[in-house]
């Protein structure tokens, strides 16, 4: 072993009576002072306070300390505080190790001072052992391209683009359709204000089209994304419009002369458009487009009328798709959602009965720019319907065809629709068939009340069956009014299905390109549901709007501005600093097998297996989980600040005395360690025989750590991490499961009881469960005999260095 | 017997959203304002002590329409079956129809000592192969013949038809001399011990005769042997197959009318079990279409939406059941078809009984069993 000349300073905190009340801090200090390498050990009443921190800085200077151990609360509490403190005194901030003698000791062993003190001594020794092996780490500076990509030009994308552009950043706004505007452009009015939707959106669309900082790339799709935070390279396919959008002045002559008529998707198929068309009057870009799928062909013998009649000569039927490459620092995904198609629910008769329509279709009927110029006429006879019904939750809140979640906006949308109908025709009878009315937002309950004031009937119950009356084509519904428990029948002129929302069909493909995950509901997954609602787990990617979950315009706009704010933190700096805990490769040992690259949840490792290039870690993309390091067969990759020798020294220190009475537990920073802290904060009591080793992710735990613990006489080892599916590092804990399976097989073959290695998934909230597990472990430990431990020690020692 | 909380979990009853779709589509609720599938579950969850005495639990006809429509596919029929079992355990005696005769003979069959003489209906030209490892199961059919002579329904016509089809397809089957009722009606009426007795007796018979595979045509027997027997009997390991699933059956060639097709309009009534439960809508229709000259027309409510035949497990049969049956007969009449084809002996019995008990000229449609019809078309072909 190398000479270790580090000079360690140990600062033991009383924390008032929080620690000193159940731990003999003086005794702990004395033990620490006697350890080789410890230059100074002292007690402090409140180490995190200003005077406490000043003490540390003073001692660093006076004693030329180069490694610091603070024995106090949880590192999740004050690690950053003390790192800043020692950095202030001129030390590298990563040369600090904390010994958690509060949440892990004094608070959970309140009634057994001797045991708590012994444990505290151990915890401090473990921290000192690691501290002596810590290395300084320089946080890498990652240059940032000051540009952003916004994918999707609905209201969320438009808002995000405008905010970014106004803040002075260059924005590429990519939209799949020929015009921006999204679903909002198709709505008539918005709740709860009853604003005209396109009137409000139109000016924003124009601003987005004109803004000097926004490059609007419409009718285009993303085909490739490479890079990492601050440095993305994106390839965009600009589909051919066959019209020069900069020259087109929207005269409309091409549409007039075009002989091809197809259903107009903007009008939900109620009216038609030509193959040469503009999506809607307020379209941005304000240019016509040739629908090449339906165009008769650009052979002059078949047609060519549009080209002939275009005065500005801006139609080019020989246009081809073009590719463009852009470089951006951040990406904001605002691709929106799609509307549920209720055809498969044949009990509702959609597409079988013409007078059954969806809310989206209703929106076009009632809209002034719609196929009936805003008159509410029903499809079969174009008469004004006198009795209109709405069925809520179509395709939502169900396991039986549709989606299990609530689509958020449908209740308010129907309330809005009911008021629009009453505005047009006050004598119309309106029946809303619902399960719950969710009017949770600002002004929502008021709108609901207004609707009831206007005499709209709300009937709690869903129709089981919808029938068409031959002749009149009226619609009959049978419904149990669950408030009166009576089955009722209603004859309606028009039935509107309030359909739910779901992910857009192209989302999966986009997410693969961006390497972001979807939740079970099919929407994008946030980094943290509560505290990071617009961040993707992959750094540098954000989202806003209904791509994240169905939501209304206000929430979409709010999220867009939030995403811009998060994005600006990156774009506003020329450089961003990467956290120091990163994977690092030893190229001499690396065989370019590619295992690390395969296991990395962030695609942060590049290896050319054929060329034997050696693994290369993309610092900016690496999250520091350590899955690569535990997977590597050649010890060629490790994680700074959680290196093998550091962790092994912690285990050795923990088991130096009385190993047979100790349980070694590996806790992951984000979940199981957090749970252990919660248990401490709640003052839940459990046996004092456990020694915790903190790792960032359970996937970091190499088999050799566990063999080492058994070799040194540990009766029991706990491996714990986040629940599968909740891993902070996306999928890293899957490799933990695989490793545990392998270990159990190996243990069995060696004659070691596999139950001596326990695997538990514990979430950050599960403090009580953590305590229960600690108690169970102690029971299990007592059942491990000295003979077993001795047998294991001999067996593993004779095998030499395990794995 | 299982606990109420286990049943709640198994049937997913706690997921009920109280949306009322089940009640809106329930054929019984249509005519009985007091009945609502979801209310039964609600009452059971809130007042488990009172529910077993509630008379509404006997009104369900088990058509499964509620479960199919329900957002969470809550299994109301299983729930009600459990409530009936518990209720009978507590001493409730349901009111049996047809003077309790069907229930009585099912109990007779449940006795191990009972020796039956039940193969007399099998024609000589059909015959059985006593060495075969495949059995064609007929259950109660011979007994129904005796009871429903007055309405002119012979359940064994269906069995004979099915056996002729199997013979023509080259499949040789045994028909067991001492098989018993499958127990569907007993368990649906809450008589768990009667069902278990029948099951044990059947298993013994199958085992003793060396049976490996069982073919059935009755949808209720099919459901009971396929779903309930594995659920309740650990020693059940026989293969169960519905006759329309046998590949050779669908390949039976058609009958061609010598003077070109004489179009006969028929309409097909989906049995609740074969239809909504097992989703076998196309098999029977394909077979019917294979009879040349048949024009298949659909009733207003067909396939998944088909109206139940109003069957009850021989108890509390009353005006509600009759109204459900009338609805179905009316729909059949509206198609203009000359016959309504059934694939379940119960459907045929119940609909015919309803037809015969009214004076409705419009409902003068012939109610014919599918296998009987198919086998007749076969016979004609052979004559050619």
Q: Is the Cβ pair B71, A481 closer than 8 Å?
A: no
Cβ pair A590, A153 in contact under 8 A: no
Judged against a pLDDT cut of 90, whether residue A412 lies above it is answered with: yes
Indicate if B252-383 has the same CATH topology as B98-245: yes
User: Measuring CA to CA, how many Å separate A28 from each of A48, A121, A217, A653, B262?
Assistant: 19, 5, 66, 15, 104
| Nearest to A426, CA basis, from A402, A399, A453 | A453
Q: Across chain A, how many H-helices and E-strands are there?
A: 21, 38
Q: What are phi and psi of B78, to 5 degrees?
A: -60, -40
- Position A248 scores a pLDDT of 94
Q: Across the interface, which of A400, A461, A482 has its CB nearest the CB of B71?
A: A400
Confidence of residue A782 (pLDDT cuts 50, 70, 90): very high
Burial class (CB in 10 A: 0-12, 13-18, 19+), A300: exposed
Confidence of residue A409 (pLDDT cuts 50, 70, 90): very high
- Position A677 scores a pLDDT of 92
**Mean pLDDT value across chain A:** 94
Q: Is the Cβ pair A399, B72 closer than 8 Å?
A: yes
In DSSP terms, which residues pair with B341 in a beta bridge? B268, B368
Tokens encoding B374: 């198919």
Q: Quick one: average pLDDT of B276-286?
A: 93
Q: Considering only CB atoms, which residues of chain B are within 8 Å of chain A?
A: 15, 17-26, 29-30, 33, 36, 38-39, 68-73, 304-305
Q: Is the Cβ pair B20, A479 closer than 8 Å?
A: yes
- Position B262 scores a pLDDT of 56
Helix axes of B345-356 and B319-334: crossing angle, nearest 10 degrees: 90
Q: Tell me the Ramachandran region of residue A387: left when phi exceeds 0, alpha when psi lies from -120 to 50, beta otherwise.
A: beta
Concatenating the DSSP letter of every residue in A314-366 gives: -B-TT---EEEEEEESEEEE---EEE--GGG-GGGTBTTBTTEEEHHHHHHHH
Q: Across the interface, which of B18, B24, B33 has its CB nearest the CB of A463?
A: B24
Partner B contacted by A297 (CB < 8 A): no
Measured in angstroms, the CA of B70 and the nearest CA of chain A are apart by 7
Please, which residues 177-236 of chain A have a Cβ atom closer than 8 Å to chain B?
none
- Position A801 scores a pLDDT of 55
Q: Is the Cβ pair B17, A397 closer than 8 Å?
A: yes
Cβ pair A475, A353 in contact under 8 A: yes
| Nearest to A429, CA basis, from A349, A472, A490 | A490
Other Cβ atoms less than 10 A from the Cβ of B94: the count is 21
Burial class (CB in 10 A: 0-12, 13-18, 19+), A318: exposed
Residue extents of the structural domains in chain B: 4-89, 98-245, 252-383
Q: How many CB pairs under 8 A join A and B?
A: 73
Q: Which residue of A has its CA nearest to B28?
A: A487
Task: Quick: pLDDT tens for A123-169.
Answer: 999 999 999 999 999 998 989 999 999 999 999 999 999 999 999 99
CA B267 to centroid of chain Cα atoms: 18
Task: Quick: pLDDT tens for B103-119.
Answer: 999 999 999 888 898 99
Rounded Cα–Cα distance for residues A474 and A386 (Å): 11
Helix axes of A359-366 and A410-424: crossing angle, nearest 10 degrees: 30
Within A89-219, strands assigned E span 96-100, 141-143, 147-151, 170-174, 189-190, 195-196, 214-217
Judged against a pLDDT cut of 80, whether residue A705 lies above it is answered with: yes
Q: DSSP letter at B281?
A: -
- Position B259 scores a pLDDT of 44
Q: Across the interface, which of A346, A398, A487 has its CB nearest the CB of B71?
A: A398
Q: Across the interface, which of B15, B18, B30 has its CB nearest the CB of A482?
A: B18
Q: Is the Cβ pair A487, B17 closer than 8 Å?
A: no
Q: Is the Cβ pair A482, B72 closer than 8 Å?
A: no
Q: Across the interface, which of A399, A435, A464 has its CB nearest the CB of B24?
A: A464
In percent, the amount of chain B with pLDDT more than 70 equals: 94
Chain A partners within 8 Å of B73 (Cβ): 399-400
Q: Across chain B, how many H-helices and E-strands are there?
A: 19, 7
Measured in angstroms, the CA of A400 and the nearest CA of chain B are apart by 5
Measured in angstroms, the CA of A466 and the nearest CA of chain B are apart by 10
Rounded Cα–Cα distance for residues A535 and A727 (Å): 16
Q: Is the Cβ pair A400, B29 closer than 8 Å?
A: no
Q: Which residue of B has its CA nearest to A490?
A: B24
Q: Is the Cβ pair A399, B71 closer than 8 Å?
A: yes
Chain A partners within 8 Å of B29 (Cβ): 480, 487
In percent, the amount of chain A with pLDDT more than 90 equals: 87
Cβ pair A613, A585 in contact under 8 A: no
- Position B363 scores a pLDDT of 63
Other Cβ atoms less than 10 A from the Cβ of B281: the count is 17
Task: Quick: pLDDT tens for A466-493.
Answer: 999 999 999 999 999 999 999 999 999 9
Report the SS3 class of residue B167.
helix
Tokens encoding A544: 């806003």
Task: Quick: pLDDT tens for B60-95.
Answer: 999 999 999 999 999 999 999 999 999 999 888 888
Task: Quick: pLDDT tens for A600-649.
Answer: 998 899 999 888 889 999 988 899 999 999 999 999 999 999 999 999 99
User: Measuring CA to CA, how many Å separate A196 from each of A179, A200, A208, A357?
Assistant: 19, 6, 19, 22
Could you say which architecture CATH assigns to the domain B252-383? 3-Layer(aba) Sandwich (3.40)
- Position B316 scores a pLDDT of 87
Task: Quick: pLDDT tens for A728-778.
Answer: 888 889 999 999 999 999 999 999 999 999 999 998 888 899 999 999 999
Cβ pair B327, B34 in contact under 8 A: no
- Position B292 scores a pLDDT of 75
Q: Is the Cβ pair B36, A485 closer than 8 Å?
A: yes
Rounded to 5°, the CA angle B196-B246-B304 comes to 75
Q: Note every long-range contact of A749-753, with CB atoms under 8 Å and residues 24 or more positions apart, other chains counting.
A: A750/A795, A750/A796, A751/A791, A751/A795, A752/A710, A752/A788, A752/A791, A752/A792, A752/A795, A753/A784, A753/A788
Cβ pair A191, A554 in contact under 8 A: no
- Position B375 scores a pLDDT of 87
pTM: 0.81
Query: How much is the ipTM here?
Result: 0.84
Chain B partners within 8 Å of A485 (Cβ): 36, 39
Task: Quick: pLDDT tens for A433-461.
Answer: 999 999 999 999 999 999 999 999 999 99
Chain A partners within 8 Å of B24 (Cβ): 461-465, 478-480, 487
Confidence of residue B254 (pLDDT cuts 50, 70, 90): low
Q: Is the Cβ pair A400, B70 closer than 8 Å?
A: yes
Judged against a pLDDT cut of 90, whether residue B49 lies above it is answered with: no
Tokens encoding A712: 């040194």
Judged against a pLDDT cut of 50, whether residue A290 lies above it is answered with: yes
Q: Across the interface, which of B19, B73, B305 has its CB nearest the CB of A461?
A: B19
Report the SS3 class of residue A242.
coil
Partner B contacted by A489 (CB < 8 A): no
Judged against a pLDDT cut of 80, whether residue A726 lies above it is answered with: no
Q: Is the Cβ pair B30, A464 closer than 8 Å?
A: no
Q: Quick one: average pLDDT of B167-176?
A: 91
Please, which residues have CB within 8 angstroms of residue B166's CB and are 6 or more apart in sequence? B136, B172, B173, B215, B243, B246, B249
Q: Quick one: average pLDDT of A405-422?
A: 97
Chain B partners within 8 Å of A463 (Cβ): 21, 24
Measured in angstroms, the CA of A502 and the nearest CA of chain B are apart by 17
Chain B partners within 8 Å of A465 (Cβ): 24-25, 305
Chain A partners within 8 Å of B69 (Cβ): 347, 400, 464
Concatenating the DSSP letter of every residue in A768-780 gives: HHHHHHHHHHHHH
Confidence of residue B248 (pLDDT cuts 50, 70, 90): confident
Chain A partners within 8 Å of B72 (Cβ): 398-400
| Ranges A503-507, A725-729, B117-121, B141-145: which has the least confidence | A725-729
Judged against a pLDDT cut of 60, whether residue A279 lies above it is answered with: yes
Task: Quick: pLDDT tens for A162-178.
Answer: 999 999 999 999 999 99
Helix axes of A672-681 and A767-782: crossing angle, nearest 10 degrees: 100
Chain A partners within 8 Å of B299 (Cβ): none
Confidence of residue B264 (pLDDT cuts 50, 70, 90): confident
CATH class of the B98-245 domain in this structure: alpha beta
- Position B257 scores a pLDDT of 46
Mutation choice for B interface testing from A389, A458, A480 by most B CBs within 10 A: A480
Q: Is the Cβ pair B24, A461 closer than 8 Å?
A: yes
Report the SS3 class of residue A751.
coil
Partner B contacted by A463 (CB < 8 A): yes
């Amino acid at each position: 072993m190398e000479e270790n000349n580090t000079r360690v300073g140990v600062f033991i905190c009383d924390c008032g009576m929080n620690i000193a009340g159940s731990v003999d801090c003086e005794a702990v200090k004395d033990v620490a002072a006697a350890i080789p390498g410890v230059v100074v050990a002292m007690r402090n009443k409140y180490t995190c306070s200003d005077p406490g921190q000043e003490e540390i800085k003073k001692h660093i200077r006076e004693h030329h300390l180069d490694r610091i151990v603070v024995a106090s609360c949880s590192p999740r509490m004050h690690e950053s505080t003390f790192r800043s403190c020692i950095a202030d005194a001129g030390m590298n901030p990563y040369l600090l190790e904390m010994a958690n003698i509060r949440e892990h000791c004094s608070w959970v062993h309140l009634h057994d001072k001797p045991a708590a003190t012994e444990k505290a001594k151990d915890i401090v020794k473990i921290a000192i052992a690691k501290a002596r092996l810590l290395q300084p780490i320089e946080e890498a500076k990652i240059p940032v391209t000051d540009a952003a990509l916004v994918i999707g030009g609905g209201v969320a994308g438009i808002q995000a683009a405008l905010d970014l552009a106004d803040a002075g950043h260059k924005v590429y706004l990519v939209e799949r359709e020929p015009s921006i505007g999204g679903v909002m452009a198709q709505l008539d009015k918005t709740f709860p204000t009853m604003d005209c939707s396109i009137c409000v959106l139109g000016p924003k669309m124009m601003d987005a089209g004109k803004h000097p900082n926004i490059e609007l790339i419409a009718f285009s799709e993303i085909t490739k994304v490479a890079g990492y935070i601050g440095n993305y390279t994106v390839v965009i396919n600009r589909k051919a419009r066959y019209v020069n959008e900069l020259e087109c002045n929207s005269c409309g002559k091409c549409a007039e002369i075009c002989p091809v008529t197809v259903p107009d998707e903007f009008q939900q198929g109620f009216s038609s458009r030509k193959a040469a068309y503009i999506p809607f009057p307020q379209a941005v870009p304000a240019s016509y487009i040739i629908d090449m799928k339906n165009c008769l062909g650009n052979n002059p013998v078949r047609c060519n009328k549009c080209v002939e009649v275009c005065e500005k000569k801006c139609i080019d039927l020989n246009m081809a798709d073009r590719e463009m490459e852009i470089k951006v620092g951040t990406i904001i995904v605002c691709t929106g959602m799609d509307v549920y198609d209720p055809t498969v629910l044949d009990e509702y008769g959609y597409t079988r009965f013409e007078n059954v329509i969806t809310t989206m279709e209703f929106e076009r009927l009632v809209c002034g720019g719609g196929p009936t110029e805003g008159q509410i006429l029903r499809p079969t006879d174009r008469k004004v319907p006198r009795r209109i019904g709405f069925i809520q939750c179509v395709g939502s809140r169900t396991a039986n065809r549709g989606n299990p979640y609530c689509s958020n906006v449908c209740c308010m949308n129907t309330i809005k629709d009911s008021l629009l109908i009453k505005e047009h025709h006050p004598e119309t009878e309106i029946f809303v068939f619902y399960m719950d009315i969710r009017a949770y937002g600002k002004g929502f309950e008021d709108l609901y009340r207004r609707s009831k004031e206007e005499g709209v009937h709300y009937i709690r119950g869903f129709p089981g069956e919808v029938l068409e009356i031959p002749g009149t084509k009226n619609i009959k519904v049978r419904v149990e009014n669950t408030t009166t428990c009576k089955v009722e029948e209603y004859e309606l002129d028009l039935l509107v299905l309030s359909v739910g929302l779901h992910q857009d069909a192209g989302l999966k493909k986009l997410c693969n390109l961006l390497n972001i995950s979807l939740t079970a509901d099919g929407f994008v997954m946030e980094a943290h549901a509560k505290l990071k609602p617009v961040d993707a787990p992959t750094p540098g990617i954000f989202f806003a709007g209904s791509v994240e979950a169905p939501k209304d315009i206000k929430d979409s706009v709010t999220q867009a501005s939030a995403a811009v704010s998060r994005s600006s933190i990156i774009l506003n700096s020329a450089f961003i600093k990467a956290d120091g805990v990163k994977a690092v490769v030893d190229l001499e040992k690396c065989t370019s097998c590619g295992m690390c690259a395969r296991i990395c949840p962030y695609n942060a490792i590049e290896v050319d297996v054929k060329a034997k290039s050696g693994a290369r870690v993309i610092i900016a993309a690496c999250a520091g989980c350590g899955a690569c390091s535990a997977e590597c067969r050649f010890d060629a990759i490790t994680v700074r600040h959680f290196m093998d020798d550091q962790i092994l020294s912690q285990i050795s220190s923990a088991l130096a005395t009385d190993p047979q009475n100790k349980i070694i537990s590996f806790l992951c920073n984000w979940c199981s360690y957090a749970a252990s802290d919660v248990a401490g904060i709640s003052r839940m009591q459990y046996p004092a025989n456990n020694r915790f080793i903190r790792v960032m992710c359970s996937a970091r735990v190499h088999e050799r750590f566990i063999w080492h613990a058994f070799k040194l006489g540990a009766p029991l080892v706990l491996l714990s991490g986040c629940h599968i599916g909740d891993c902070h590092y996306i999928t890293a804990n899957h490799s933990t499961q695989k490793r545990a399976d392998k270990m159990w097989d190996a243990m069995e073959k060696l004659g070691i009881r596999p139950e001596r290695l326990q695997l538990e998934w514990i979430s950050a909230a599960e403090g009580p469960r953590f305590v229960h597990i600690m108690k169970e472990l102690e029971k299990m430990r007592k059942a491990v005999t000295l003979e077993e431990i001795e047998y294991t020690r001999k067996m593993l020692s004779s095998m030499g260095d395990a794995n | 017997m299982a606990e109420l909380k286990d049943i709640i979990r198994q049937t997913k009853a706690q997921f009920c959203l109280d949306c009322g779709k089940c009640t809106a589509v329930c054929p019984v609720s249509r005519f009985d304002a007091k009945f609502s599938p979801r209310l039964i579950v609600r009452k059971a969850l809130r007042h488990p002590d009172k529910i077993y005495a509630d008379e509404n639990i006997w009104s369900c006809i088990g058509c499964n329409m509620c479960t199919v429509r329900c957002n969470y596919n809550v299994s109301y029929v299983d729930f009600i079956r459990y409530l009936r079992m518990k209720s009978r355990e507590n001493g409730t005696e349901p009111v049996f129809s047809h003077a309790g005769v069907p229930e009585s003979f099912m109990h007779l069959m449940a006795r191990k000592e009972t020796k039956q003489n039940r193969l007399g209906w099998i024609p000589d030209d059909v015959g059985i192969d006593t060495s075969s490892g495949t059995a064609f199961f007929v259950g109660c059919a011979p007994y129904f013949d005796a009871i429903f002579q007055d309405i002119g329904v012979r359940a064994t016509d269906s069995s004979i038809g099915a056996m002729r089809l199997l013979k023509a397809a080259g499949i040789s089957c045994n028909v067991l001399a001492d098989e018993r009722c499958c127990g569907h009606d007993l368990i649906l009426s809450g008589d768990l011990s009667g069902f278990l007795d029948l099951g044990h007796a059947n298993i013994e018979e199958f085992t003793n005769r060396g049976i490996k595979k069982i073919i059935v045509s009755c949808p209720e027997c099919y459901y009971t042997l396929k779903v309930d027997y594995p659920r309740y009997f650990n020693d059940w390991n026989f293969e169960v197959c519905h006759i329309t699933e046998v590949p050779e059956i669908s390949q039976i060639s058609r009958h061609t009318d010598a003077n070109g097709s004489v179009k006969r309009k028929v309409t097909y009534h989906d049995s609740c079990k074969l239809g909504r439960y097992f989703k076998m809508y196309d098999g029977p229709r394909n077979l019917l279409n294979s009879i040349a000259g048949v024009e298949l027309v659909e009733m207003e409510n067909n396939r998944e939406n088909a109206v139940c035949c109003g069957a009850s497990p021989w108890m509390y049969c009353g005006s509600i059941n009759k109204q459900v049956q009338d609805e179905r007969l009316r729909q059949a009449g509206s198609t203009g078809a000359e016959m309504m084809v059934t694939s379940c002996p119960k459907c045929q019995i119940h609909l015919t009984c309803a037809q015969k008990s009214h004076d409705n000229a419009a409902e003068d449609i012939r109610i014919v069993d599918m296998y009987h019809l198919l086998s007749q078309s076969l016979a004609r072909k052979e004559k050619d």
